[in-house]
Amino acid sequence: HFGSNGDIMNDLNDLVAIETTWKNRVTPLVTITNLTSEGFSSDLAHQVLNNPQARNNLVNNIFYLVSRKGYGGVNIDFERVKAEDRDIFTGFLRQLGERLKPAGYVLTIAVPAKTSEDIPWLKGYDYGGIGAVVNYMFIMAYDWHHAGSEPGPVAPITEVQRTIEFAIKSVPRRKLIIGVPLYGYNWSIPYRSGTVASAISNQNAIKTAMRYQSPIQYSKEYKSPFFQYRDQAGQMHEVWFEDVRSMSEKMVLVRKFGLQAIGAWQLTLGFTPGPWLLKKFFTIRTV
């Protein structure tokens, strides 16, 4: 996390994790985010990006953190960037990249999924400009339906493909990593506006279906599994998640469009068939 003056607030005991990652021939990256106790803050990002002193301070602090702790690079995860900060955000990334690259560090970024430039709340992300200055772009291709929305597929294949087709127009394919969810959502139905669904891991979704002996259905349109069940209190639920079939479809897209890789949020949720699927569809490279 960072403050309004560009200082980084880092109290993580991460040295063992960093050392273990390197020993397994995987490059550890430190994530820098505008997440606050109230959520991702557009105002915090705006304040730092538009203050040259704070922006320079943040760049220097990121470089110092990476080099001091032994990371291999950084992942920038600024969410809800304002439309008015579009160019200054790309400029910040360029400045950071120019600082990191000579020392051999990697600059990556997590960005929301875009299917066009006409989406008002995503205008702060210039795919072309960002893609020109980062090593890799992780597209968070999920949450088309989310905790605050009506029930539906979290990562429908139709929207994932549209996102890829839009991204490759301005970003080199070998820089693109498509993010997939290791989770779904459990909605109470009928859906009522203002209610919040609970997140559920893919593995727990399957266990829930088994527990309530509910048959898992599969949307041929969205390439996504779902099911309904009634709990002990009589409340009906609808669950959308990911399984081997839906994950395979997304891996097929990564191969079809010649992208760099597939990624996931988030690993601690687990996905038992994940390693098998990766080996089936990809050649795994460790560096």
The percentage of the chain sitting over the pLDDT mark of 90, rounded to a whole number, equals 95
3-class DSSP state of 106: strand
User: Would the pLDDT of 234 be above 90?
Assistant: yes
Ramachandran bin of 234, using left for φ above 0, alpha for ψ from -120 to 50, beta for the remaining angles: left
User: Would the pLDDT of 132 be above 80?
Assistant: yes
pLDDT tens per residue, range 9-42:
877 899 999 999 999 999 999 999 999 999 999 9
Residue of 43, 58, 137, 127 whose CA lies nearest to 92: 58
Active site residue: 19, 79, 150, 159, which one? 79
* Alpha carbon separation from 260 to 129, 264, 273 (Å, rounded): 18, 14, 21
Domain boundaries, the chain: 15-181+243-281
User: What is the reported pLDDT for 10?
Assistant: 77
Question: Is 249 among the residues known to form the active site?
Answer: no
Beta bridge mates, 219: 224
Q: Please, what is the Cα angle at 97 between 17 and 282, to 5 degrees?
A: 55
pLDDT tens per residue, range 253-286:
999 999 999 999 988 898 999 999 999 999 887 6
Report the C-alpha gap between 174 and 270 in whole angstroms: 26
Least confident of 81-95, 136-150, 186-200, 262-276: 262-276
CB 112 within 8 A of CB 140: yes
Report the C-alpha gap between 164 and 139 in whole angstroms: 9
Which residue in this structure is represented by tokens 């979290």? 154
In the chain, the amino acid numbered 35 is L
Which backbone phi and psi does 57 adopt, to 5 degrees?
-60, -40
User: What is the reported pLDDT for 285?
Assistant: 78
User: What is the reported pLDDT for 191?
Assistant: 95
Sorting pLDDT into bands at 50, 70 and 90, what band is 165?
very high
Sorting pLDDT into bands at 50, 70 and 90, what band is 172?
very high
Average pLDDT, the chain: 96
Report the C-alpha gap between 146 and 156 in whole angstroms: 12
pLDDT tens per residue, range 211-233:
999 999 999 999 999 999 999 99
Return the number of other C-beta atoms located less than 10 Å from residue 127's C-beta. Answer: 22
Sorting pLDDT into bands at 50, 70 and 90, what band is 287?
low
The percentage of the chain sitting over the pLDDT mark of 70, rounded to a whole number, equals 99
CA dihedral 44, 99, 262, 15 (to 10 degrees): -80
Beta strands in the chain (DSSP E): 29-33, 35-36, 39-40, 73-77, 106-112, 136-140, 176-181, 183-189, 198-201, 217-219, 224-230, 236-240, 261-265
User: What is the reported pLDDT for 147?
Assistant: 96
Q: Is the N-terminal amide bond of 120 cis, ω within 30° of 0?
A: no
Report the C-alpha gap between 41 and 23 in whole angstroms: 35
Segment holding 122, helix H or strand E = none
Judge: domain 15-181+243-281, CATH 3.20.20.80. Answer: yes
